[in-house]
Amino acid sequence: MLQREAEGQALARCVIAVPLALIATLLFTATVSEPAPAQTYTVIHNFTRKGNDGASPYGGPVLDRSGNLYGTTYAGGTYGSGNVYRLSPSGPSWTYSTLYSFKAGTDGVGPGFGSLAIGPHDTLFGTTEGGGYFGTAFAICACPGREVQIHSFGMGTDGAQPLGGVVVGSKGNFYGTASLGGAYGNGTVYEETRSGRTWTESTLYSFTGGDDGTNPAAAPTLDANGNLYGTTSFGGANGVGVVYKLSYSGSAWKQTVLYTFQGLSDGQNPVGGVVVDGGGNVYGTTFDGGDNGGGTVYELSPSGEGWAFTVLYSFTGGYGGPYNKLTLANGNIYGLTEGEGANGFGSAFKLTPGKGGWTFTDLYDFIGGSEGAEPYGSVAVDSAGNVFGTTNEGGSTNQGVVFEITP
């Protein structure tokens, strides 16, 4: 489903228009490109698909406070249906552990491209694309690796095929999206709320397939006020995706479209969702389009009662731009392109703010083979600026890798 061939089929399946001059006219910030400075690229784990080791890590890793990395693989594991893993630093190397292997039944099949979310007591939350009825939401206790199925999607109007992981709220509840299903068959935003040992799923919004968007692949992002922000891969007035906001008002959630993509220099198909900084600015990417055809990095900033849209960078290429959420760390923006780059196998990049705009730095161009290729996930970045991520292909047995880029 998530392989390159299936991407086209998924895209083929698939604002409230805000009449503001700020949105009607694209605002461009000057962006300077810099060649990659000296970086050290290291493969810290090669997936083998042997034993309980995983394969095809579509989702990127997350870091805990102790420097451990957690992630998922779409395939492999003991039963071939994917796994949840941990990489722990051990001197100059890393120790790999499989925490849970999915059994291809009610517990789920194939965690998609969303990263895990770390909740209270270091519990790991995530989703699987298949299993259950049509995908699941799960929790993993990192030690000893016990899995709890929280919800099975695909029955009623709760949605189906949750691809993009979840985001954890302040009270231990969590939010996610289902790319299909819901009241109109075009996807949902949902909430899972815990009471004792029981979890209750609530559908917060069902996409109609009109101006409000279609197929929300990525999980939403929470701001400090409890609002949810996200994207749809398709739909909207021009059919190529929107950025939306969900706000709780009274006793219901209200959806507002912040921006409708035009498929021009602004880009199209914002598959990867958005992130929000402390000032309420929203950052995201498009997988395709833009001035150079390879997707874009954009910013939406609150301005009066509207939003100002700015393209921060346009990638060069015809297919294979950023597929996942950006990462905000150390005042910078980090991300990956799934393809493109100098060798066509993807790239890692950083955007640094400055008085004259944003400076784009190409951190690494994947070369394929043993070094890895086609990174679909987000990256994790520590306080020293070390960047951790995964590639879906390449490595010693061509099952994907976990890598580190050290500045």
**CB distance 218 to 177 below 8 Å:** yes
**pLDDT greater than 50 at residue 23:** no
In-domain check, residue 72: no
Please state the rounded mean pLDDT for residues 354-376: 96
Confidence of residue 294 (pLDDT cuts 50, 70, 90): very high
Looking at the chain, the whole-number percentage of residues with pLDDT higher than 90 is 83
Dist CA 134 CA 154 (whole Å): 5
pLDDT at 25: 34
pLDDT digits (tens, 9 = 90+) for 184-198: 999 999 999 999 889
pLDDT at 36: 57
The CB-based long-range contact list for 63-68 (8 Å cut-off, 24+ gap) reads: 63/380, 63/382, 63/388, 64/118, 64/122, 67/382
Task: Tell me if residue 63 falls in helix, strand or coil.
Answer: strand
In-domain check, residue 233: no
**pLDDT greater than 90 at residue 137:** yes
Give the residue with greater pLDDT, 7 vs 206: 206
**CB distance 123 to 166 below 8 Å:** no
**pLDDT greater than 80 at residue 111:** yes
CA angle 146-325-360, nearest 5°? Answer: 140
**pLDDT greater than 90 at residue 302:** yes
pLDDT at 7: 41
Please state the rounded mean pLDDT for residues 7-33: 39
Q: What is the mean pLDDT of the chain?
A: 91
Q: Strand 69-73's sheet: what is its strand order?
A: 62-63, 69-73, 83-90, 93-101
Residues 6+ apart with CB under 8 A from 54: 47, 72, 73, 74, 75, 76, 77, 82, 83, 85, 98, 399
Confidence of residue 317 (pLDDT cuts 50, 70, 90): confident
Please state the rounded mean pLDDT for residues 229-240: 98
**Secondary element (H or E) of residue 231:** strand 228-232
Confidence of residue 171 (pLDDT cuts 50, 70, 90): confident
**pLDDT greater than 80 at residue 26:** no
Looking at the chain, the whole-number percentage of residues with pLDDT higher than 70 is 90
Confidence of residue 11 (pLDDT cuts 50, 70, 90): very low
In-domain check, residue 382: yes
In-domain check, residue 271: no
**CB distance 336 to 379 below 8 Å:** yes
pLDDT at 249: 86
For residue 340, give the nearest of 272, 298, 292 by alpha carbon.
292
Confidence of residue 34 (pLDDT cuts 50, 70, 90): low
- φ, ψ at 380 (rounded to 5°): -110, 140
DSSP H helices in 18-175: 21-24
Confidence of residue 32 (pLDDT cuts 50, 70, 90): low
pLDDT at 251: 85
pLDDT at 19: 32
Give the residue with greater pLDDT, 230 vs 317: 230
In-domain check, residue 92: no
Please state the rounded mean pLDDT for residues 372-393: 97
pLDDT at 6: 41
- Cis before 407 (ω within 30): no
- φ, ψ at 49 (rounded to 5°): 65, 20
**pLDDT greater than 70 at residue 336:** yes
**pLDDT greater than 60 at residue 382:** yes
Confidence of residue 33 (pLDDT cuts 50, 70, 90): low
**pLDDT greater than 80 at residue 214:** yes
User: Which residues span the domain enclosing 400?
Assistant: 35-60+324-407
Please state the rounded mean pLDDT for residues 373-382: 98
> In the structure encoding, which two tokens stand for residue 371, read together?
């070094």
Q: How many structural domains comprise the chain?
A: 1
**pLDDT greater than 70 at residue 124:** yes
Confidence of residue 223 (pLDDT cuts 50, 70, 90): very high
Q: What residue has token string 């035009």? A: 262
Total count of residues recorded for the chain = 407
| Three-state SS letters, 315-338 | EECCCCCCCCCCEEECCEEEEEEC
Dist CA 120 CA 110 (whole Å): 24
Please state the rounded mean pLDDT for residues 48-64: 97
pLDDT at 277: 97
**pLDDT greater than 90 at residue 375:** yes
In-domain check, residue 246: no
> In the structure encoding, which two tokens stand for residue 365, read together?
């161009």
In-domain check, residue 329: yes
pLDDT digits (tens, 9 = 90+) for 76-102: 999 999 999 999 999 889 999 999 999
Positive or negative, the Cα torsion across 1, 275, 235, 134? positive
**pLDDT greater than 60 at residue 20:** no
pLDDT at 350: 98
In-domain check, residue 220: no
